[in-house]
Amino acid sequence: MTSTSQFGGFYNEKRAASDLRHYRKNGPVTPTRTLIAALRAEGVEGATLLDIGGGIGAVHHELVDAGVARATLVEASAAYLDAAREESERRGHGHVTHLHGDFVELAESIPSADVVTLEGVINVYPDWERLLGLAAQHAQHLCGLVYPRDTPSVRFVVVMMNGVLRLLRKEVRASVHPGDAVERVLREHGLSPHTSQQVGPWQVAVYRRR
């Protein structure tokens, strides 16, 4: 699933508008809030941020408010990118770049950043190891992730979810990856585990450049 249209078919305008309304009313969902707090604890003032597949942009909205100097969002869904841009404009965030496309295809043209985030991304991208490896290469200091925990109950939910998506003829599929496999890819690119928290069915982890 490397074409933007495959993502756009599921992550459409209706879903983006709903997520944006929820975010404006309630703030980031708990796993996202946990990631943001973990990154803020490391100090983000004056840092650059690359938010990969960030949807409506909750991560970079909050971190720009916390002092990030410049942020780039790369998002495959045009609807979500528009929602993120709308929220950036509403907040007066002038130093945010919004790029439409598949990060794997655009990676060579995108500068590295102090902090790279992938929140709920590697679990819906088929070639997740390539995606994660390229993201790690772009992380000069920190890489923050949110991804499903590898447990029987989470795997069962994902199987059921994929069945529904198949019936609805949606091309997007979810997957679960072992934590040690995620760590292996990041270590191969010079990053080491720094913090890790379990938030319900999600793992929230921050890796640091060695």
151-167: per-residue pLDDT in tens? 999 999 999 999 998 99
Tokens of 75: 């998002």
Determine the Cα–Cα distance for residues 88 and 72; give it in Å rounded to an integer. 11
Cβ neighbour number for residue 89 with a 10 Å cutoff: 11
For the chain, give every domain's residue range.
4-147+178-209
Please check whether residue 203 is in contact with residue 30, taking contact to mean a CB–CB distance below 8 angstroms.
no
Q: CA separation (Å) from 172 to 53, 90, 167? A: 14, 30, 12
Domain 4-147+178-209 bears CATH identifier 3.20.20.410: no
Q: How confident is the model at residue 1 (pLDDT cuts 50, 70, 90)?
A: very low
Q: How confident is the model at residue 150 (pLDDT cuts 50, 70, 90)?
A: very high
Please check the confidence at residue 137 and state whether its pLDDT lies above 60: yes
Determine the Cα–Cα distance for residues 179 and 175; give it in Å rounded to an integer. 13
Candidates 60, 75, 80; CA nearest to 106 is 75
Cβ neighbour number for residue 130 with a 10 Å cutoff: 14
- CA 124 to chain centroid, in Å, comes to 10
Tokens of 146: 């949110």
Cβ neighbour number for residue 5 with a 10 Å cutoff: 11
Q: Tell whether pTM > 0.75.
A: yes
Please check the confidence at residue 27 and state whether its pLDDT lies above 70: yes
pLDDT reported for residue 10: 84
- CA 27 to chain centroid, in Å, comes to 16
Please check the confidence at residue 108 and state whether its pLDDT lies above 90: yes
Please check the confidence at residue 5 and state whether its pLDDT lies above 60: no
Tokens of 34: 């946990």
Q: How confident is the model at residue 2 (pLDDT cuts 50, 70, 90)?
A: very low
Please check whether residue 147 is in contact with residue 203, taking contact to mean a CB–CB distance below 8 angstroms.
yes
Q: List Cβ neighbours of 141 (8 Å cut-off, separation of 6 or more).
A: 47, 114, 115, 208, 209
The residue-averaged pLDDT of 5-33 equals: 89
User: Which neighbouring-strand residues pair with 195?
Assistant: 206
pLDDT reported for residue 40: 97
Candidates 207, 208, 198, 206; CA nearest to 31 is 198
Tokens of 50: 């690359």
